[in-house]
Amino acid sequence: MKGSETAEFQRALEDFALASGHLVAIELDAAGRLHDYNKGFSLAVSAAGESHGQPFGAFFPPRKGNPQAIVPGLPGGLAVPYRLVSWDGRELLLHAYPLADEHILLLGMPLNPDESLAMQRMSGLTTEMGNLVRELRRANRRILDLARTDVLTGLPNRRYFYERLGEAVEQARHLRRPLSVLMIDLDHFKRVNDRFGHAGGDAVLTAFAELLRGRARAGDFPGRLGGEELALLLPDTDAEQGQRVAERLRADAARLRPLDEAAVFTVSIGVATWRDGETGEALLARADEALYAAKTAGRDRVVVAGSASGGAVGAH
């Protein structure tokens, strides 16, 4: 677990430990060593001194009938229960949960002479902790989605688009496949805001974002980079194909009427295709230069970066 999930999980775990009494909490790393543990563990196994980095078997030796390895979970997200015997003969009931980086979380409690009562209590604690872990994971996924999404359009935001751009470039390099990107700008957007207000501008942005999302093919990745500037990532697409995609998008945008039938809106588009050894930022910069050329040439057109004629197509 990383970032906000780590902090939230730690706070929840501490609250849970305080509320549940004799909770034993152990985190094992991928090699089966103690990465972290709570006071309940030290008390339960009479551990003296520093235990971080010690192998799990030092406290629960195999000669006591303990398993050689801990399995962190069953299909369906169910925790795996383990009845373990410490080096000094104390019995504990622990449940194993998977964490990030192949770490394992063990939660449980010592078994007292009234085993039926201990088993009943542990079952309740395990259910409660399992629910807490699932809720935290759902919340973390929701936070991640919000951090990656532009609030107005619902498209991936600039940060997420750049992340996927870098991944797409690495994939194109590895598979030796073409990759193109479109940089798109809504023409005369300031005039839209001046005439219809910011609510009108938002309506135009939202309508075009919906068009962009609907025209994206399987594997394509649209995004809003900021203001009236959007982009579309086109894996497995060469310059000629990218130009065709851009021209269809330009033509469809001219038919949008998000405000009234008299208000016509157009877009300018720059197209660039990845060159071997080029970074994602450099690719996007060339698409941006082509976009600037499209706007300079009169807007409502497509320009392909690097073509001999400038690659301008569209309304003239």
Hey, what CATH topology would domain 158-314 get?
Alpha-Beta Plaits (3.30.70)
Domain boundaries, the chain: 3-148, 158-314
The interaxial angle of helices 239-254 and 189-215, nearest 10 deg, is: 120
Give the pairing of strands 229-235 and 301-304: unpaired
Active site residue 228: yes
Task: Identify the pLDDT of residue 314.
Answer: 53
Candidate ranges 36-40, 65-69, 197-201; pick with highest mean pLDDT: 197-201
Q: What is the DSSP letter of 36?
A: E
pLDDT tens, 27-62? 999 889 999 888 888 888 877 778 899 998 888 888
Three-state DSSP at 76 gives coil
Catalytic residue among 5, 50, 228, 281, which? 228
- Give the pLDDT mean for 205-228: 94
Provide the pLDDT confidence category of residue 21 given band limits of 50, 70 and 90: very low
More confident call, 63 vs 154: 154
- Give the pLDDT mean for 258-269: 86
pTM for this prediction:
0.57
- Which one of 3.30.450.20, 3.40.50.300, 3.90.1150.10, 1.10.4100.10 gives the CATH number of domain 3-148? 3.30.450.20
Token representation of residue 91: 């019995």
Q: Is residue 266 pLDDT above 90, yes or no?
A: yes
Contact 266, 250 (CB under 8 A): yes
Task: Identify the pLDDT of residue 105.
Answer: 87
- Cα-Cα end-to-end distance for the chain: 55
Provide the pLDDT confidence category of residue 141 given band limits of 50, 70 and 90: confident
